[in-house]
Amino acid sequence: MKLNIGVIKGDGIGPEIVTEAMKVLDKTSEVFGHQCCYTQLLMGGASIDVNGVPLTDETIRLAKASDAVLMGSIGGDARVSPWYQLEPSKRPEAGLLKIRKELNLFANLRPAILYSELKDACPLKEEIIADGFDMMIMRELTGGLYFGERKTIEVDGVMTAYDELTYNENEIRRIAKRGFDIAMKRRKKVTSVDKANVLDSSRLWRKVVEEVAADYPEVVLEHMLVDNCAMQLVKDPAQFDVILTENMFGDILSDEASMVTGSIGMLASASLNDTKFGLYEPSGGSAPDIAGKGIANPIATILSAAMMLRFSFDLDKEAEAIELAVSQVLKEGYRTSDIMSGGNIQIGTSEMGDKICSYIHA
Ligand code: NAD
């Protein structure tokens, strides 16, 4: 199979970690008989340096022409970088928001996995995480409170702020379908999180999710109120498979879930639209403090590439081979400095990519 992949290496550690992910993709393609064709795209600070803007129409066109886009992180150190002397709409992060909007990326996926080898980094007690956990947070990304109308006006002499929270049934249905499709590739359980005891938008959310669930008889659906979910994530994280939720609840819960896994360098993410297209990137930023030192952890980007194979190309076996190789390398005790603990072997970014490649098998 030929895989047309747009690549945004990005800023800071971006080029270092994306290079390793491409190395792993190439090795996986070689082992399984595929061919990766990369188109390099400029975005963020790198694009400002060349084009004066963080995202050009040409980059958008080329991204749309690709089957999927793999991205490192973008941005720099706002205290010293000249990019942050520009007006907000011309800074690196503006490119990120624009590309998500242009590509209609309404579904954000963040896996939160606790590898047994990295239990030390987890802030939860041993008895809670005895068996580890592996959940997927599926967050609606282009609707809800963050996209509603807002205003601050004086009402009877009192300053009053309004933020509108709206969801229509189509927005809910498309993300719910995505959630159930993904559950079918996992342990077939969806926990839909809302605040249906208070909010109308949540009551509609729950109704539409139930309608969608009827088309997926193999998937177990449960509803959970968001306040309870926040507690359950630290009380019994292993109960979750796919958490399906709206924009603001997902924003908060995905950060909570990622913190309990311990390390930012391990966290992959994907943003999908209603085709097979997706933008795949690590959850962390461009880490300007360690850029160019060859010590960044490339695993989040490598796992994002595995998500790309699974969700954009339906190459499940290939994705699994990468995930198994990552586990194996951790089992053997190889660590980048951010996840280093006593008794393990510290290696750099490029060596980590090489080690993971060496464990990729059909
Ligand atoms: P950051 O995630 O870049 O760094 C936070 C800490 O985590 C730093 O100590 C960093 O060294 C460490 N870290 C992050 N990724 C790592 C990795 N792969 N391996 C080892 N250590 C890692 O967050 P920040 O410092 O707040 O942001 C830096 C820049 O990144 C800013 O310009 C910010 O806007 C941008 N940013 C971009 C994205 C994105 O591209 N999606 C996301 C978040 C932040």
Angle at 140 between CA 135 and CA 144, to 5 degrees: 140
The per-residue pLDDT for 158 is 98
Domain containing 218 equals 123-260
Query: Domain boundary at 260, 284, 312, which?
Result: 260
Number of domains in the chain: 2
What's the CATH code of the domain at 238? 3.40.718.10
pLDDT, mean of residues 147-168: 95
Is residue 290 a part of any domain in this protein?
yes
**Under a CB-based contact definition with an 8 Å cutoff, are residues 338 and 6 in contact?**
no
The per-residue pLDDT for 134 is 94
Output the CA torsion sign for 49, 52, 53, 57. negative
Asked if 141 and 246 sit in the same domain, the reply is: yes
- Cα 79 to ligand 1 centroid, rounded to whole Å: 14
Predicted TM-score of the model (pTM): 0.91
Asked if 242 and 139 sit in the same domain, the reply is: yes
Is residue 9 a part of any domain in this protein?
yes
Asked if 218 and 245 sit in the same domain, the reply is: yes
Q: Rounded to the nearest 10 degrees, how much is the dihedral formed by the CA atoms of 98, 100, 101, 103?
A: 120
Q: Which atom of ligand 1 is nearest to the CA of 78?
A: 32
Closest residue to atom 36 of ligand 1, CA basis:
285
Indicate the residue type of 257.
A
Indicate the residue type of 140.
E
pLDDT in tens, 10-63: 999 999 999 999 999 999 999 999 999 999 999 999 999 999 999 999 999 999
Indicate the residue type of 142.
T
Residues 6+ apart with CB under 8 A from 243: 135, 136, 137, 138, 191, 193, 229, 250, 253, 257
- Cα 109 to ligand 1 centroid, rounded to whole Å: 18
Ligand 1 pocket mutation, candidates 264, 326, 335, 350, criterion most atoms within 8 A of CB: 264
Residues with active-site annotation: 146, 195, 227, 251, 255
Is residue 117 a part of any domain in this protein?
no
Is residue 283 a part of any domain in this protein?
yes
Q: How confident is residue 341, by pLDDT bands cut at 50, 70 and 90? A: confident
Query: Domain boundary at 231, 260, 289, which?
Result: 260
The per-residue pLDDT for 96 is 87
| Alpha helix segments (H runs only) across 157-294 | 169-184, 200-213, 226-235, 247-259
Nearest Cα to 75, choosing from 336, 229, 287, 340? 287
Asked if 146 and 80 sit in the same domain, the reply is: no
Report how far residue 91's alpha carbon sits from residue 138's, in angstroms, rounded to the nearest whole number: 28
Query: Domain boundary at 260, 285, 319, which?
Result: 260
Asked if 133 and 85 sit in the same domain, the reply is: no
Is residue 116 a part of any domain in this protein?
no
Asked if 83 and 175 sit in the same domain, the reply is: no
Asked if 4 and 88 sit in the same domain, the reply is: yes
- Cα 334 to ligand 1 centroid, rounded to whole Å: 22
Is residue 113 a part of any domain in this protein?
no
Asked if 100 and 135 sit in the same domain, the reply is: no
Q: Which residues line ligand 1 (CB under 6 A)?
A: 13, 17, 73-76, 93, 96, 264-265, 281, 284-290, 296-297, 300, 338
Is residue 204 a part of any domain in this protein?
yes
Asked if 321 and 194 sit in the same domain, the reply is: no
Q: How confident is residue 211, by pLDDT bands cut at 50, 70 and 90? A: very high
pLDDT at 263 over 80: no
Contacts 24+ apart (CB under 8 A), 112-117: 112/136, 112/137, 112/237, 112/254, 112/257, 112/258, 112/260, 112/261, 112/267, 113/261, 113/266, 114/237, 114/260, 114/261, 114/262, 115/266, 115/327, 115/330, 117/327, 117/330, 117/331
Report how far residue 82's alpha carbon sits from residue 17's, in angstroms, rounded to the nearest whole number: 23
- Cα 288 to ligand 1 centroid, rounded to whole Å: 7
Is residue 222 a part of any domain in this protein?
yes
Asked if 311 and 189 sit in the same domain, the reply is: no
